Amino acid sequence: MSMTVGSGGGYSSDINMTPMIDILLVLLIIFMVIVPVTPKGLDALVPQPPKDKQQQNPTDRTIVVQVLHEAGKAPSYKINDTVVFNGVGGLAAQKELLARLTEIYANRAERVMFVKGDDNVDFRNVAEVIDIARAANVDHVGLMTPKIMAGQ
C-alpha cells in the first residue's frame, strides 16, 4: 500500500477499499443466513450388512405385499407369497389385509413394508394398499419395480 505525501490536490487513482469490505461483509451475512435454510433431501434407508454372520436372514423380516391383477375381478393380495383372502377379493380382502398387517406389525420395532404390483394392476389399487399399510401403523412403505434387463 502506498501513501501520498504532500498537497497534490489532484485526483488519486488508488482503490477505495471501504465499500468493497462493506459489500463483502453484507454477502457473508447473507450466506450465513441462507445456508441453514436450504432444503434437505429425502431420507433414504440404506440396507446395512449384518454385523455377524450368524444373524438371521434379513429376508425373514421383510414384508412384501403383492397386488395381483385378475381380469374382470377385484385385485387379490399376497403377503410374502401367502394368499391373504381366498374369496373373490374387494373390500373383504382389504379388511383381511389390514387385520393381517396390524397383527404382523403389532410387536415390531422396524415397521418397513414393500408393495409389489402386477404389470396390469392400476396404481389406484397400489395406493389403496399403501393406505391400508398406513392404517396398520407401517412407518415406511417402499415400492418394488421390476429389474430392467441389461441390453433391452
Over residues 106-143, the pLDDT tens digits come to 888 888 899 988 888 888 888 898 999 999 888 888 88
Q: Do residues 129 and 65 make contact, with C-beta atoms less than 8 angstroms apart?
A: yes
Distance CA 16, CA 139 (A): 60
CATH 3.30.420.270 assigned to 62-144: yes
Exposed e or buried b for every residue in 38-51, given b needs 16+ CB within 10 A?
Answer: eeeeeeeeeeeeee
Amino acid 151: pLDDT: 46
69, 78, 100 from 88: Cα distances, Å:
12, 14, 18
Identify whether the C-beta of residue 137 lies closer than 8 Å to the C-beta of residue 108.
no
Q: What pLDDT, on the 0 to 100 scale, is given for residue 91?
A: 79
Check residues 24 and 35 and name the one with the higher pLDDT.
24
Distant-in-sequence, close-in-space partners of 74: CB < 8 Å, separation ≥ 6:
88, 89, 90, 93
**Residue closest to 118 by CA, chosen among 73, 86, 61, 58:** 73
Q: Could you tell me where the DSSP H helices lie in 35-148?
A: 91-104, 123-135
Question: pTM to 2 decimals?
Answer: 0.57
Collapsed DSSP state (helix, strand, coil) of residue 139? coil
Q: What is the DSSP letter of 86?
A: -
Percent of all residues in the chain with a pLDDT value above 90, rounded to a whole number? 9
> What mean pLDDT, rounded, does the chain reach?
78
Where are the chain's structural domains? 62-144
* pLDDT value, residue 131: 92
For Cα atoms 98, 102, 129, give the angle at the middle one, nearest 5 degrees: 35
For residue 29, what pLDDT is reported? Answer: 93
